[in-house]
Amino acid sequence: MLTTLYIGFLGLIFSSFLVYLCEKSTNEKYSTFADALWWGVITLSTVGYGDKTPETWPGKMIAAFCALLGISFFALPAGILGSGFALKVQQHQRQKHLIRRRVPAARLIQCMWRHYAATPESCSMATWRVYLATINSPK
């Protein structure tokens, strides 16, 4: 992720500089490198205000490449992060649901076992029946 941002930042600086070189003599909107940098940020972020557009063919080619670079290095990782966060939230919701269901399920199992152990027909050795007779142990 950090590598993607680093490459995207280098692409921003490089493409802004190339557009500045191509457009500074013919387009008055690109009088400084800061204007070209503004154009690069808007193009790479895929916002596209349209206030600064290249007029020369080399500038337009760089703009097209810069737009594709912006999609691949900035827009796609944002979508990947968004879907990752959505999966994390979904996993957290499932975990909360399981925790809420665990205690009632354990109580149900305990109650059913106690009911089974307390019935006179139960064959279980672990019963809750009260024994009325005592067992004599050998001496």
The pLDDT tens digits for 43-98 are 887 787 888 888 999 989 988 988 887 777 777 777 888 899 999 999 999 999 99
Which helix H or strand E contains 39, and what residues bound it?
helix 33-44
Give the integer Cα–Cα distance in Å for 21 and 68. 20
- Evaluate whether 66 touches 80 at the Cβ level (below 8 Å): no
Identity of the residue numbered 114: R
Q: Which residue has the higher pLDDT, 109 or 4?
A: 109
- Evaluate whether 4 touches 73 at the Cβ level (below 8 Å): yes
CATH number 1.20.1090.10 is the correct assignment for the domain at 2-80: no
- Evaluate whether 65 touches 44 at the Cβ level (below 8 Å): no
Find the Cα–Cα–Cα–Cα dihedral 31, 33, 37, 38, rounded to 10°.
-30
Q: What is the pLDDT of residue 92?
A: 95
Residue ranges covered by each domain of the chain: 2-80
The pLDDT tens digits for 17-44 are 999 999 988 888 888 999 999 988 888 8
Q: What is the pLDDT of residue 119?
A: 74
The pLDDT tens digits for 112-137 are 888 877 776 766 666 555 555 566 76
